[in-house]
Amino acid sequence: MSTTTATHHDDHGDHGHPTGIMRWVASTNHKDIGTLYLWFSFFMFLFAGAMALGIRAELFQPGLQFLEPEQFNRLTTLHGLIMIFGAIMPAFVGFANWMVPMMIGAPDMAFPRLNNMSFWLLIPAALLLIGSIFVPGGAIAGGWTMYPPLSIQQGMAMDMTIFAIHILGISSIVGSINIITTILNLRAPGMGLMKMPLFIWTWLITAFLLIASMPILAGAITMMLTDRHFGTSFFDAAGGGDPVLFQHVFWFFGHPEVYIMILPAFGIVSTIIPAFARKPLFGYASMVYATSAIALLSFVVWAHHMFTTGMPVAGQLFFMYSTMLISIPTGVKVFNWIATMWRGSMTFETPMLFSIAFVFLFTLGGFSGLVLAILPVDIQLQDTYYVVAHFHYVLFSGAAMSIMAGVYYWLPKWTGHMYDETLGKWHFWLTTIAFNITFFPMHFTGLAGMPRRVPDYALQFAEFNMISSLGAFALGISQLLFLYVVIKCIRGGEKAAANPWEGAEGLEWTVPSPAPFHTFETPPTVK
């Protein structure tokens, strides 16, 4: 093995590059690894999306039709885990891989081999998670948050899930160290921190959040493992522990995790809106400060996920106030995006459409977040469909739609072809409309009192659930169109210029489309 490595030392540069399966398995090229990440996440997105359709099929009508309650719980659990760790996070890492070196004028990531390891660790984690469906007892059914003591009751699948998350944690930490090092150490001469594209800033802060929070999750699930098998009593009151301790540790990871999934989305949208408004981003500096403020606040708000656990009043007040504060930097961002559009010269290609939908729908999710931050109201809404609506507005129309925006925006750079604009717009409208049909009614069912994670419900929730289910199937099918557009673009289409967008700025548009295998081997100078 080491000889292979040694002989390839001088392979890069103008000597061509490995081909066939080797190119992907043993890759040390940030673009190839980025591609692997993006395809992996897309596959997982469809897989976990299919699970969501199973959930919605069961909820189409009251009563039990297709699933037993325990199977239903397995679906909701795996849907959450796979969407978060398998779809959203790897997609953003894929963007970081492709775009960070090109945007800062670096030849590659700081540690190309570790970069490849970060990707290949996703595979055993996915095998463990998906494989857990087939072990005795079936996949875990305790929710993606894995609260004990329910998780202590789960079978072998729980251990496999714990190890899968450990491996994902290693992947994330190694990947983040790589990204943070690349950004801090490999910027082209002249690119000061305050000259970095905003996408780079958001990823810098995201990488920091990942390094700070993933080890905390590792600690939480390690305690879970020893409680399950080695007789410790961290989460068992009889031994002096507390089940709620897990929730504290989990959400100390979990809230930064929420921003890990949204900050890169801010970065993508902040790149796209100026390009199609043909106008510089409004308030660059305040965007940087707002992103940093959101990241820091994310470490002091975690217990707002636990308002119903019965904290003392001082704790409740502290976490309510700190949570409300988050709306200030987030509001600044929304205002900045709209000020960027203001008096621009806008066109509405697919990436711009997705970005505008992001601003609009993510802000709706922000409003429901503000409602949930008000503790007395949260008491009514905690663990209802209102929460489900809220986090799908921030995670689907927030994170996932920004990913779609980014894919359309950079596809010409990645493939060298323009995507089919008509089909792209179809995909946009179908997705946006179906998304709202699916998730908007959940605000109503939640307010009216439908708990989440139930396979069956009382009759007054029937109408809205039926609407949601119809929307969900439309939403699911629309994503196959996305797959088709992407494949079509890879296989051919109108040749893309180095900069196919009139208003796009940044180093990535100074290299040809498709971007050559190696870019910026000699760093460019930024004025």
Partner 1 sequence: MSQNTKNYYLPGASFWPLIASIALFLMAAGFSMSLNDMAIGTSILIAGGVVFAYLLFGWFADVVKESVSGFYNKQVDASFRWSMGWFIFSEVMFFASFFGALFYIRNVSLDWIEAGKVWPDFVAVWPTAGPAATEALVGMGPWGLPAINTVILLISGATLTYAHWGLMKDNRKQTIIGLLLTIALGVIFLYLQVHEYAEAAFTMAGSGIYGSTFYLLTGFHGLHVTMGTIMLAVILFRIMKGHFDSHNHFGFEAVAWYWHFVDVVWLLLFIFVYWL
Partner 2 sequence: MNKRTILSLGAAFLSLFTINSHADYALNLKTPATEIASQIYDLHMLILWVCVAIFIVVFGLMFYSIVKHRKSVGHKAAQFHEHHWLEIIWTIIPVVILVVMAYPATKTILAMKDTAAADMSIKITGYQWKWGYDYLDQNVKFISTLSTPQDQIHNKEEKGENYLLEVDNPMVVPVGQKVRLLITAADVIHAWWIPEFGVKQDAIPGFMKEAWIRVEKPGTYRGQCAELCGKEHGYMPIVVEAMEQADYDAWVVAQQDASAAASAGADKEWAQDDLITAGKAVYEKNCSVCHGATGAGIPPAFPAMTGSAVVTGPIETHLDMILNGKNIMPAWKAVLNDVDIAAVIAYERNALGNSTGDSIQPSAVKAAR
Residue 110 contact partner, candidates partner 1, partner 2, none, CB within 5 to 8 A by sort of partner: partner 1
Q: Of the residues 32, 257, 349, 378, which is catalytic?
A: 257
Q: Of the residues 452, 453, 488, 518, which is catalytic?
A: 452
Residue 69 contact partner, candidates partner 1, partner 2, none, CB within 5 to 8 A by sort of partner: partner 2
| Nearest Cα residue to 400 out of 365, 452, 426 | 365
Segment 435 to 454, residues that bind partner 2, using CB under 8 A: 444, 447-449, 451, 453-454
Tell me how many residues contact partner 1 (CB under 8 A): 89
Residue 384 pairs with which residues in a beta bridge?
Answer: 451
CB 496 within 8 A of CB 419: no
Establish if 116 lies at the interface with partner 1 (CB under 8 A): yes
Toward partner 1, which CB reaches closer, 124 or 493? 124
Establish if 420 lies at the interface with partner 2 (CB under 8 A): no
Candidates 1, 194, 314, 487: give the one binding partner 1 (CB under 8 A): 1
State both tokens at 180.
């943070």
Local structure of residue 506 (DSSP, 8 states): S
Residue 495 pairs with which residues in a beta bridge?
Answer: 417
Given the rule CB under 8 A, which of 78-86, 177-185, 209-217, 357-365 is the region that contacts partner 2? 357-365
In the stretch 253-292, what mask flags binding to partner 1 with x, by CB under 8 A? ----------------------------------------
- C-beta neighbour count of 66 within 10 angstroms: 13
Please confirm, yes or no, whether 108 is among the known catalytic residues: yes
Residue 50 contact partner, candidates partner 2, partner 1, none, CB within 5 to 8 A by sort of partner: none
Candidates 181, 222, 232, 309: give the one binding partner 2 (CB under 8 A): 309
Candidates 348, 429, 484, 517: give the one binding partner 2 (CB under 8 A): 348
Segment 187 to 246, residues that bind partner 1, using CB under 8 A: 211-216, 218-220, 222-223, 226-234, 236-242, 244-245
| Nearest Cα residue to 521 out of 188, 193, 200 | 188
Toward partner 1, which CB reaches closer, 25 or 498? 25
Contacts of 35 (CB under 8 A, 6+ apart): 94, 98, 414
Establish if 326 lies at the interface with partner 1 (CB under 8 A): no
DSSP 314-334: HHHHHHHHHHHHHHHHHHHHH
Q: Of the residues 203, 259, 386, 410, which is catalytic?
A: 259
**Cα 42 to Cα 37: distance, rounded to the nearest angstrom:** 9
**Cα 53 to Cα 338: distance, rounded to the nearest angstrom:** 35
**Cα 249 to Cα 245: distance, rounded to the nearest angstrom:** 6
Instruction: Strands of 40-190 (E only): list them.
Output: none
| Nearest Cα residue to 518 out of 78, 193, 109 | 109
Segment 8 to 67, residues that bind partner 1, using CB under 8 A: 8-13, 18, 22-23, 25-28
Please confirm, yes or no, whether 259 is among the known catalytic residues: yes
DSSP 374-406: SHHHHHHHTTBHHHHHHHHHHIIIIIIHHHHHH
Please confirm, yes or no, whether 509 is among the known catalytic residues: no
DSSP 26-63: T---HHHHHHHHHHHHHHHHHHHHHHHHHHHHHTTSSS
In the stretch 40-79, what mask flags binding to partner 2 with x, by CB under 8 A? ----------------------xxxx--xxx--x------
Establish if 185 lies at the interface with partner 1 (CB under 8 A): yes
Smallest separation (angstroms) from partner 1 to the CB of 421: 36
417 by DSSP, 3-state: which? Answer: strand
Q: Of the residues 31, 166, 333, 413, which is catalytic?
A: 333
Candidates 46, 325, 423, 490: give the one binding partner 2 (CB under 8 A): 325
Please confirm, yes or no, whether 333 is among the known catalytic residues: yes
Establish if 153 lies at the interface with partner 1 (CB under 8 A): no
| Nearest Cα residue to 360 out of 247, 269, 437 | 269
Torsion, Cα of 317, 320, 322, 325 (10° steps): -130
Establish if 370 lies at the interface with partner 2 (CB under 8 A): yes
Please confirm, yes or no, whether 305 is among the known catalytic residues: yes
Establish if 156 lies at the interface with partner 1 (CB under 8 A): yes
Segment 104 to 143, residues that bind partner 2, using CB under 8 A: 136-137, 141-143
State both tokens at 283.
């308030």
State both tokens at 383.
């663990």
Q: Of the residues 151, 330, 350, 432, which is catalytic?
A: 330
Residue 184 contact partner, candidates partner 1, partner 2, none, CB within 5 to 8 A by sort of partner: partner 1
CB 104 within 8 A of CB 183: yes
Residue entry with tokens 């959940």 = 442
Establish if 280 lies at the interface with partner 2 (CB under 8 A): yes
Please confirm, yes or no, whether 172 is among the known catalytic residues: yes
Give the catalytic positions in this structure.
79, 108, 144, 171-172, 255, 257, 259, 270, 304-305, 330, 333, 452
